[in-house]
Amino acid sequence: MGPLSGLTIIELAGIGPGPFCAMMLADMGAEVIRVDRAGSVSGGDPNNPPKDALLRGRRSIGVDLKSPEGVEVVLKMVEQADALIEGFRPGVAERLGLGPQQCAARNPKLVYGRMTGWGQDGPYANAAGHDINYIALSGTLHAIGRSGQAPVPPLNLVGDFGGGGMYLAFGVMCAIWEAQTSGQGQVVDASMVDGAASLANMVWSLKAAGHWASERGTNMLDTGAHFYDVYECADGEYVSIGSIEPQFYSLLLGLSGLGEDPNLPHQHDRAHWPTMKMRVAEVFKTKTRDEWCELMEHTDVCFAPVLSLDEATQHPHNVERGTFIEKYGMTQAAPAPRFSRTEPQIQRPAPHPGQHTNELLSKFGFTDDDIATLKQQNAIG
């Protein structure tokens, strides 16, 4: 069983970062119960689970949260839970009757995790938004891209999952740990703006030290440097180079053949970075990606081929470590990180909405008559 075995987390269904947080907790062994809308319950073959890795590892109950009886169902579950996570706009959970105060009245030790883009307060708090907007406001998006070009959104990895879901999981577990001694729960306000800003703290440190220019694509880690970038090969594929340290850079020069020129400028002479970048690019176009792999893989150049999603699953390193797994009809990344004793695992496939309603209600003490009444009231699906 995973290291979080024994914890019970209630997840009010949402999209993106909330489910990602719940996936992380479930992968680590927590019992995560997803509360789906009763209206989304339409049945589904348990032998053909949804192909959604973010929903893996938990059971689902269908509840009408606009029904007083449905809200009471969730509050009864809260009484036996360690935490609840939700991703509504500020004030929505309170209007439903499931806000922090309402839940704390049932379980003072409950940790209440809130996931939003902007945070629970501030001028933007009630506005709609997505990952790209949140990382833009944090300043992080401005720094990502090449010189003279527009910023490049890094998929939705920095806001939704890095700055959002992971920070919510971390915050919830911190609060659960503290509640073990204080006996009191608290609210965790996870904002993607805050999280994205926090992820960029090293860049803020470099800026404070005078080592980071605001013009993107001109710094060491943002494709400004010729020794930290991706380069096209003769076959149109790409390789990545990160030869920052002098000994690694020296090896790059030697294996690429550039070191044969005795007049090369100093590695950190920024005035020559654009010229050196062109020279490095020309060199990498002389061989295919596989030829460069044969030459540079398993050396200290700090090298790796740029693989497609499909290629990544077949690379020997990922295969040996089991980085990707084929389970429940889909390829997905295995639980991370790894533990030497309490091994994480995918507990079950993604559920159909409401798939485990009866099973879960029985677990939380509802009788068959109670369940029948709730169905008649359309409080559950």
Boundaries of CATH 3.30.1540.10 in the chain?
228-232+238-305
Q: Is 189 a catalytic residue?
A: no
Q: Residue 123, Cβ neighbours under 10 Å: how many?
A: 7
Catalytic residue among 130, 189, 315, 370: 130
Q: How many residues does the chain have?
A: 381
Beta strand residue intervals within the chain, DSSP E: 8-12, 31-37, 59-63, 83-86, 111-116, 187-191, 228-232, 238-242, 303-305, 324-327, 330-333
Give the pairing of strands 111-116 and 187-191.
parallel
- Catalytic residue, candidates 36, 131, 160, 229: 160
What single string gives the DSSP state of each residue in 232-298? Answer: E-TTS-EEEEE--SHHHHHHHHHHHSGGG-TTPPPTT-GGGHHHHHHHHHHHHTTS-HHHHHHHHTT
Asked about 268 being catalytic, the answer comes back as no
Query: Which of these, 192, 306, 178, lies nearest to 241 by C-alpha position?
Result: 306
Tokens 């559950």: give the residue. 380
Angstrom distances, CA of residue 127 to CA of 91, 119, 153:
12, 10, 20
Q: Residues spanned by CATH 3.40.50.10540 within the chain?
A: 8-199+324-376
Which residues, other chains included, contact 376 with Cβ-Cβ below 8 Å and sequence gap of 6+? Answer: none
Given the candidates 3.40.50.720, 3.90.1150.10, 3.30.1540.10, 3.40.50.300, the CATH classification of the domain at 228-232+238-305 is: 3.30.1540.10
pLDDT at 44: 87
Instruction: Report yes or no: 85 and 168 within 8 Å, Cβ to Cβ.
Output: yes
194 closest CA partner among 269, 248, 266, 139: 139
Tell me what pLDDT residue 217 has: 96
pLDDT of residue 274: 96
Output the CATH code of domain 8-199+324-376. Answer: 3.40.50.10540
* Contacts for 329 with CB less than 8 Å, ≥ 6 apart: 48, 49, 51
- Please name the helix (run of DSSP H) or strand (run of DSSP E) that holds residue 193, with its range, or none: helix 192-199
Identify the pLDDT of residue 1: 82
Full-model pTM = 0.95
* pLDDT given for residue 41 in this prediction: 86
238-242 vs 228-232, strand pairing mode = antiparallel
Q: Residue 316 contacts by C-beta under 8 Å, 6 or more apart in sequence?
A: none
Spell out the residues 6+ positions from residue 119 whose beta carbon is closer than 8 angstroms to its own. Answer: 125, 189, 191, 193, 194
**Dist. CA 257–CA 98, nearest whole Å:** 65
- pLDDT tens for the chain, residues 1 to 381: 899 999 999 999 999 899 999 999 999 999 999 999 998 887 889 999 999 999 999 999 999 999 999 999 999 999 999 999 999 999 999 999 999 999 999 999 999 999 999 999 999 999 999 999 999 999 999 999 999 999 999 999 999 999 999 999 999 999 999 999 999 999 999 999 999 999 999 999 999 999 999 999 999 999 999 999 999 999 999 999 999 999 999 999 999 999 999 899 999 999 999 999 999 999 999 999 999 999 999 999 999 999 999 999 999 999 999 999 999 999 999 999 999 999 999 999 999 999 999 999 999 999 999 999 999 999 998
